[in-house]
Amino acid sequence: MLKYLTSAGVKRELGGTEALIRDIIAAGSGIYLIFAVLFYPEPILHRSISFGLFYTIIFMSYNTPGCKKRNSIPIADWILIGLSLSVSIYIGVNLERLLERTVFFDPVSTFDVIFAILTMCLLIEGTRRVIGPWLPGLTVISLIYLIFGHNIPGRFGHMQMSTTRMVDSLFLSTNGIWGSTMGIATGKVMIFIFFGALFRFSGAGDFLFEFASRIVGKLKGGIAKIAIISSAMFGMVSGGPLTNVTTTGSMTIPLMKRNGYKGEYAACVESCASVGGMFMPPIMGAVAFLMAEVVGINYGEIITRAFLPALTYFAALFFAVDFYARKHGIGGKREKPVERLINLIGRGYNFFLPLGFLVFRLVTGRIVAKAGLETIALMLVLALFNKRNRLSFKMVYNSLKTAVNMGVLVISTLATCGVLVSVIHITGLTGKFSTYLASISDISIIFTLIVIMVVTLFIGLAMNTSSTYIIMAVLGAPILINMGFEPLGVHMFLLYFAAMATITPPVAITSYAAAVIAEANPMKVGFMSMKVGLVAYILPFVFLYNPAILMYGTIFDVILAVVWALAGTAVLSMGLEGWLFNKDIGYSVRIVLVISGILMVQGKIITSLISAAVFILVSTFTIILNKKDLNKEALDEGT
């Protein structure tokens, strides 16, 4: 029994009428979400309708753990489907009363309590089936804390909560389940998931791979560089590491292996490049939308300030694969191009123009969801004039149902996070945790940052990036902001570690997905991904101590920060790969280079100059030794 309670569900393989019904509901849900963006209904009504639709799809699509029946939907799940829809109906029927009542003052009916408990049970069970027990279990613990926490003595206890207050906070208001996190998920996020699905069905994956091949294919280790660029470009839209791995990785990983890369290294390159989609503007996954809401900064400003760190991250990956290829003698992709680059770019105008238009609309302050819809409309219009990548009605239909089926992960986790965040707020847990961290910060600020980093990575082991970020944004961000750090820098700090948790062992879901494609050892891929993507564990500290990398400060400060960051990533990659100016270097030199690279990335003038001087000395010494070795070889050949 315990085994089933602590497991995730398995996706059903439906056929016939049941599959058709699910697909029609999914496509209809997509159309409804578009309608909701254009003609936004009352938030609590919209979110409750979304709950009914998405949890219907969840209970149709996922088995309860231990159920062996995978090709049909059992009676029990049809009952759960009916109950999920009943929640939407209950909110709709009582909408006028809910809008007119005063939260925490007006009475709560017996049916309110019953439906609050029912909704919570459906939420927890549905989310468990989709992602496993970690987040739902944390939610159950938070509810137990809400109900019985007044019995806890000392700092972490709270005042006793009445049933009215709990039901009001979690169910009858736009907090809890119907809070802003679910609002973001059912609005902005789903629109961009649909955009990403449409982008994918239009052949973007193949085109971007071909485009990247023409740009960097002939360079040293060209296939790995193709993987990085195509994943970065696809990640601009998809934002999801797993989607990125399965889409671009299915092409790049086998090619890297055939080109001479070991399976583990091919998988780690693809997983690092795919997780970079969470950092890469303009979409950056669901987290950027959450960040705009939490920080109170315009979304256009966030994606603008996030660009240079993303550039630095992908540059680090580029350097890493370049030095690896040089060290192991791996060449580029030498096939003769079938068409000129300018013709290739012209053929892909229906991919580039929508992205450019989207960035323009977001930066100029357009409402995010409506900018997404406008971009989708532009993409559909452009597709009419592109015979090779023309979108048919079937493609649009498949994009709608695919986006909604992908969206169940986002909707379920963010709705569950809404409960968690609400409990944290009404029990005052944020202040209690902040007080604890403040006491640590009195000892050492760096130690406080490391504690928050470790907590973020730990929570992110079994959660998606959005869930991890929103929890830590509530718990950890306030204390760091109170310590004097730039708010956006703090939230970028949390975002990067929340994302890197997906490639950090022991539960590195993105690395493991890549390992499956590469038929490689998952744990080796995870640790190798940490090494190749090391700069992403360093950059978050730079955001706090040198926010010029986020474009805060003068133009000179920003340029200097970028130059040092790029130089540091190059030196760091040399040290990690053990390759300096065509010479294999020992561990002592590698350690010196790694430390020098880290200090350069930090961007502080004095430490960066000292690190640069150390690098020049080490390089000069290496070049001299290299020349001596070459002269000795020449003499040996002469004799």
Tell me the pLDDT tens digit for each residue of 453-462: 998 998 887 6
Share of the chain above pLDDT 90, in %: 35
Query: Residue 217 pLDDT > 80, yes or no?
Result: no
Q: Read off the pLDDT of residues 402-439 as tens digits, 9 standing for 90 and up.
A: 889 888 988 998 899 889 889 988 888 877 777 777 77
pLDDT of residue 191: 87
Sorted by sequence, the CB contacts under 8 Å of residue 351 that are 6+ apart come out as 199, 202, 204, 207, 208, 389
Helices 110-131 and 163-170: angle between axes, nearest 10 degrees? 50
Backbone angles phi, psi at 408, to 5 degrees: -60, -35
Q: Which of 448, 475, 497, 42 is nearest to 287 (CA)?
A: 497
285 vs 358, more confident: 358
Query: Residue 601 pLDDT > 80, yes or no?
Result: yes
Beta partners for residue 579, in sequence order: 584
Average of pLDDT values for 73-84? Answer: 94
Cα–Cα distance, 108 to 102 (Å, whole number):
11
Cα–Cα distance, 131 to 350 (Å, whole number):
35
Q: Read off the pLDDT of residues 91-107 as tens digits, 9 standing for 90 and up.
A: 999 999 999 888 888 88
Lowest-confidence pick of 18-32, 63-77, 444-458, 625-639: 625-639
Backbone angles phi, psi at 154, to 5 degrees: 85, -160
The secondary element (H helix, E strand) that includes residue 320 is helix 307-328
Q: Pull the structure tokens for residue 552.
A: 């805060």
How long is the chain? 639
pLDDT of residue 488: 93
Amino acid at 190: M
What's the pTM? 0.82
Sign (positive or negative) of CA dihedral 46, 47, 48, 52: positive
Q: Read off the pLDDT of residues 182-214 as tens digits, 9 standing for 90 and up.
A: 988 888 888 888 888 888 787 776 777 777 777
**Are the C-beta atoms of residues 500 and 468 closer than 8 Å to each other?**
no
Sign (positive or negative) of CA dihedral 287, 293, 295, 296: positive
Q: Read off the pLDDT of residues 504-529 as tens digits, 9 standing for 90 and up.
A: 887 778 888 888 888 888 889 989 99
**Are the C-beta atoms of residues 92 and 45 closer than 8 Å to each other?**
yes
Between the alpha carbon of residue 297 and those of residues 109, 236, 293, 305, 577, the distances in Å are 39, 20, 7, 11, 39
pLDDT of residue 110: 93
Cα–Cα distance, 328 to 531 (Å, whole number):
17
Cα–Cα distance, 317 to 320 (Å, whole number):
5
Q: Pull the structure tokens for residue 334.
A: 């030498």
Cα–Cα distance, 537 to 519 (Å, whole number):
27
Cis peptide upstream of residue 282 (ω within 30 degrees of 0)? yes
User: Residue 144: which pLDDT band, with cuts at 50, 70 and 90?
Assistant: very high
Amino acid at 561: A
pLDDT of residue 6: 61
**Are the C-beta atoms of residues 464 and 407 closer than 8 Å to each other?**
no
- Tell me the domain boundaries of the chain: 2-178, 182-312+326-406, 553-639
Share of the chain above pLDDT 70, in %: 93
Neighbours of 386 (CB within 10 A): 16
Sign (positive or negative) of CA dihedral 346, 247, 526, 236: positive
Written as one string, the DSSP assignment of 10-50 is -B----HHHHHHHHHHHHHHHHHHHHHHHS---HHHHHHHH
DSSP state of 579: B
Cα–Cα distance, 468 to 462 (Å, whole number):
9
Q: Pull the structure tokens for residue 330.
A: 């791996």
pLDDT of residue 570: 93
The mean pLDDT of the chain is 85
Between the alpha carbon of residue 170 and those of residues 56, 148, 182, 431, the distances in Å are 21, 16, 13, 20
pLDDT of residue 545: 92
Residue recorded with tokens 């012209």: 346
Q: Which of 469, 473, 448, 445 is nearest to 457 (CA)?
A: 469
Sorted by sequence, the CB contacts under 8 Å of residue 144 that are 6+ apart come out as none
Coil, helix or strand for 62? strand
Cα–Cα distance, 86 to 106 (Å, whole number):
23
Helices 465-475 and 487-500: angle between axes, nearest 10 degrees? 140
pLDDT of residue 250: 79
Sorted by sequence, the CB contacts under 8 Å of residue 562 that are 6+ apart come out as 308, 311, 312, 549
DSSP state of 467: H
